[in-house]
Structure 1
Amino acid sequence: MATKQESASVPDAYAELESRVERIANITAGAGVLRWDQEVMMPEGGTPARAKQLSTLSSLSHEELTDPEIGELLDELEDAELDDDRAAVVREIRRKHDRATSVPTELVEEISEATTNAHPVWTEAKEAADFETFAPTLENLVELKREYAAHIDPDADPYAVLFAEYEPYLDLETAERVLERLRDELVPLIDAIADSDVELGGAFDGEFDADRQEELSRDVLDALGYDWDRGRLDTAPHPFSTGTQFDARVTTRFDEEDLLGSITSTVHEFGHANYTLGLPDEGYGTPLGESRDLTVHESQSRLWENHVGRSEAFWEFFLPTAAERFPALADVSPRAAYEAANQVYDDNVIRTEADELTYHMHIIVRFEIERELISGDLDVEDVPQVWNDKYEEYLGVRPETDAEGALQDIHWSHGSFGYFPTYSLGSVLAAQLYAAAEDEVGDVDAQVRQGEFDDLNGWLRENVHRHGAKYTTPDLVERATGEPYSADAFIDYATEKYGRLYDLDG
């Protein structure tokens, strides 16, 4: 316990720590804008300079975080009497500082430059459907990330170390347990759907002008309450959202034969941006103004995409707006739109185009492959073959090209090994949060049917967004829902929803 003399210095030590942390946050946010620019509007020839710029910022951020004076401030505050907010800030910075001080600055720079240079290589390889073009780059990234993990904890499973980069408070064993349960519960459900006589889909067949799709995407963002004063909509080959509570940007993509895909993609990215915009302004620059890692972040995007955007109530509300942009939809009923939005098709090989159920099989494939890559049990050159074999085993479909197979995702070009499980973990949490919101807010569907989203969003603001990273993931979930993190709500939701859609009890 701190002495009175030590306690007197606590305010000064905390203020200094907070000042240093805000500087790191500003560097990180600046790098985020440069990465956004690279994927949205940077000229193709800009990569060499951008790689150097991002490498420099990454090095600066790392040097700031590993400064011995930060360690001294943390030591001084370790046993001090702090309120809950300040204690959370110290906890989060201590975790980041301890990880960062384990990794040499030179390696951080090397990884940053390698991932920036990897982006155009991945893009070229995907366009040519040629994995061999990307293989040397991927092999280098795997080696760099193994080295990174070894510096942090040489005695731990390197994949567990990398997974903790994205979800530090739900351990890898929890992730494995949830993924196994999804596989055990969803595969029989998917098989039963395949055997069902019910056929869904067809409501969105046709061609839809890309410019009008963009207008419709803006309509849906307007309807959901996106803050245009702190955001913008652009296009990117791989949709994403990025930013801070003062500037949270959304990207989407348009396929003239897939109107539904652009709508669900836009709603998904809205969920991410909405969470970011809901973080407290006064917390900016500290963990109190940062999101609670990727499981929670993904829960927000999947909640809005699946529980709202794929609901029958949403289509009763939004279909008239879609029909104004595309008169060919005038004869489509809300029920038909709802059924099309929830069609299950296990013959799809593209993760981002997957339905709500088979999506998790796509995640499991990636999870299993990247675990073996990092452990050294799988050689990079064998990834396409193993990828295709697993797709055939889990989904009964085999990618015809590398672009449809192991090159379809951007994540590995970012060096993001351990990221994929958070998609399924977030989907599970989305169901748990939505069920808790319904218990407290009342009939959410009735509100959505009227285009009223304030109560649902208000519940999320109160129970998730405003806390930033104050609580660990398990604590945040239990505070918001009254229950420990669990797949129960998702399994119940999926079984009931798809049982009705496909008449599985009839």
Structure 2
Amino acid sequence: MPATTDDATDAPQAYRELLEHYRRYSNLNKASGVLSWDQQVMMPEGGAPARSQQLSTLSGLQHELLTDEAVGDALEALADADLSDEQAAVVREIRREYERSDAVPQELVEEVTATASEAIEVWEGAKADSDFSQFAPTLEKLVELRREIAAHIDPDREPYAVLFEEYEPYLDLETAERVLTRLREELVPLIEDIGESDVTLPRAFDGGSYSTDAQESLSRDILDRLNYDWERGRLDTSSHPFTSGSQFDCRVTTRFLEDDPLSALTATIHEFGHAFYNLGLSQDHYGDPLGESRDLSVHESQSRLWENHVGRSQPFWELIGDDVRETFDVDADDETLYEAANVVYDDNLIRVDADELTYHMHIIVRFEIERDLVNGDLDVEDVPEVWNDKYEQYLGIRPENDAEGCLQDIHWSYGNFGYFPTYTLGSVMAAQLYAAAEDDLGDLDGDIRAGEFEALQEWLRENVHRHGARYTTDELVEVATGESYTADYFLEYVTEKYGQLYDL
């Protein structure tokens, strides 16, 4: 086990015992992650029944380790111990996980894991056939199981609020609602103004066909430019792009659409942001909370920062313009490519391909539906119709089938209810972090244009990554930016950027 910079040898015996238990739990958790990655990337189609049992067994062992009586005893012994700030943070994070896990029966944990593992294959088949009815019974079971978990953790609170804390324990659901409401109120008029603008941005890639080999080659070249560490990572394809791994091994996936190379490009950069965060976590603290990421809002801030503030910026398209023209044989200058990468689509049904503005309407739809599902205010069988109605209400478009509607995302097949708001919370945080980095570093546009990303990357390493889970989310934002968490920077950023693009 790597030595830690905050030496545990001077800590109480209970602290050392607590770390030993937690590190074993953490390693099982990471092993499960590798099996899950394999299931989505490499596993033969027939492997799901065995894989569900394997993951179920591992989840049971994880639960058993985390809720061991010795962990509870150690936490009790450390309640009033004299600990360093870092040690106190470790105890805080383990205590939070322990208390949530200890409230849930192990057999329920194993059942949820097995059901979710099997659900991935069911979802993929239902999406391929565009038939929600194939997935509905599995989704209903997952919703029921997650409600049970929420009831065990806190039966007196709204189930969805309890589940949301699994992904973002420190920015509460009221904060998420406040941010989502403000964005809906301020982005909808901006989107409407764009729709009424006389400016029509070019769609430089429309009508073309772009080979997956060419797209993969460009994706790898861009990961090279962004300093992705291939000795600790890899790029593969999956039905839904994702990132999996630790500071020693963090892998990204993307997907290629032959009629839309922008989809793979933005997805790859987005996943790079997740991987770059993981790879920047403390290696000395591998296996303890100081070597773990700070929950999903912060994780999404890293992916959205790289995808949008870097990957959709004008300097970035000036940097990669020649590569894009050569790879795809498109006749478009850098300005045209930049504009094409930032079209606000009034007809896009797919979240992962959405622009920066309408993206958050996609999130709001999912948030409202999954909250009603979990809280018992919406029946599973009614999801497709409600989904389509909300798309018409918020985006002015209506899906023609389930594949481009309520089956497009994989998250519910994992049983991940409460995950979606973190995308928007992270986008808001990304703008605040990028503004702070720009204040500290100066001309980031010039760095991006020159392909020099080291200064920004070092700033993120210093102000975000190295802290792991030492700080709560709001504390980390304050440490990194000097201000409390706010949506002001995001709204200023998109208003200025899209005001210029659409001559508002």
The normalised TM-score by structure 2 is 0.97
Alignment of 1:395-410 (within 5 A): 395-410=395-410
Which residue does 2:482 correspond to in 1?
482
CA distance in 1, matches of 2:430, 2:296: 12
Identify the residue that residue 78 of structure 1 maps to in structure 2: 79
Report the Cα offset of residue 10 of structure 1. Answer: 4.6
Q: 1:18 maps to which residue? A: 19
Are the counterparts in 1 of residues 9 and 16 from structure 2 also a CA contact under 8 Å?
Answer: no
Residue type at the aligned position of 2:195: A
- Give the 3 Å change call, closer, same or farther, for CA 99–209 of structure 1 in structure 2: same
Q: Which residue of 1 aligns with 2:296?
A: 294
Give the equivalent residue in structure 2 for 1:195. 196
- Residues 414-467 of structure 1, C-alpha deviations (whole Å, 9 max, x = no match): 000000000000000000000000000111000000000000001000000000
* 1:122 to 1:395, Cα distance in 2 relative to 1, 3 A: same
Alignment counterpart, residue 269 of structure 1, candidates 264, 271, 290:
271
Match of 1:143 in 2: 144
- Residue deviations 1:178-218, cap 9 Å, x none? 00000000000000000001011222231111111111100
Q: 2:472 & 2:56 partners in 1: Cα distance?
A: 30
Mapped to 2, the partners of 1:143 and 1:442 lie a distance apart of: 51
Choose from 315, 322, 325 the match for 1:323.
Answer: 325
Residue equivalent to 2:4: none
* Mapped partners of 1:457, 1:497: distance in 2: 23
Q: Report whether the alignment pairs 1:306 with 2:308.
A: yes
What's the counterpart of residue 3 of structure 2?
none
Q: Is the 8 A contact 2:130 2:403 kept in 1?
A: yes
1:127–1:403 Cα contact (<8 Å) kept: yes
Question: Aligned partners of 1:462 and 1:333: how far apart in 2?
Answer: 36
Write out aligned runs for 1:10-409 (5 A): 10-205=11-206, 206-326=208-328, 328-329=329-330, 331-409=331-409
Which residue identity lines up with residue 138 of structure 1 in the other structure?
Answer: L
Residue 315 of structure 1 aligns to a residue whose secondary structure is helix
Partners of 2:333 and 2:89 in 1: CA distance: 50
Deviations 1:218-238 (A, max 9, x none): 000000000000000000010
Percent identical: 67
Aligned residues: 496
Instruction: Write the deviation string for residues 483-506 of structure 1: whole angstroms up to 9, x where unpaired.
Output: 1101000000010000000000xx
Does the 8 Å contact 1:387/1:405 carry over to 2? yes
Contact conserved, 1:10 with 1:76, CA < 8 A, in 2?
A: no
- Tell whether the 8 Å contact from 1:10 to 1:80 is kept in structure 2 after alignment: no
What SS does the corresponding residue of 1:62 show, helix, strand or coil? Answer: helix
Helix, strand or coil at the partner of 2:404: coil
Question: Is the 8 Å Cα contact of residues 139 and 380 (structure 1) preserved in structure 2?
Answer: yes
Pick closer, same or farther for the CA change 1:89–1:384 going to 2, 3 Å: same
Q: In structure 2, what is the equivalent of residue 4 of structure 1?
A: none
3-state secondary structure, aligned to 2:251: strand
SS at match of 1:249: strand
Cα distance in 2 between the residues matched to 1:358 and 1:12? 53
Contact kept, 8 Å, 1:186 with 1:357, in 2: the verdict is: yes
What is the TM-score with the length of structure 1 in the denominator?
A: 0.97
What is the one-letter code of the residue matched to 1:307? Answer: H
1:166 alignment partner, SS class: coil
Partner Cα separation in structure 2 for residue 457 and residue 334 of structure 1: 25
Paired residues of 2:93 and 2:289 also in contact (CA < 8 A) = yes
- d(CA) in 2 for partners of 1:156, 1:388: 29
Alignment of 1:392-471 (within 5 A): 392-471=392-471
What is the alpha-carbon distance in structure 1 between the residues aligned to residue 268 and residue 349 of structure 2?
21
How far apart in 2 are the matches of 1:482 and 1:109? 42
* Paired residues of 1:201 and 1:341 also in contact (CA < 8 A): no
Distance in 1, matches of 2:9 and 2:187, equals 57
Q: Gapped runs of 5+ residues in structure 2?
A: 1-7
1:11 offset after TM fit, Å? 2.8
Contact 1:298 1:423 in 2 (8 A): yes
SS in 1 for 2:236: strand
Q: Secondary structure at the match of 2:460?
A: helix
Runs of 5+ unmatched residues, structure 1: 1-6
Over 3 Å off, 4+ runs = 7-10
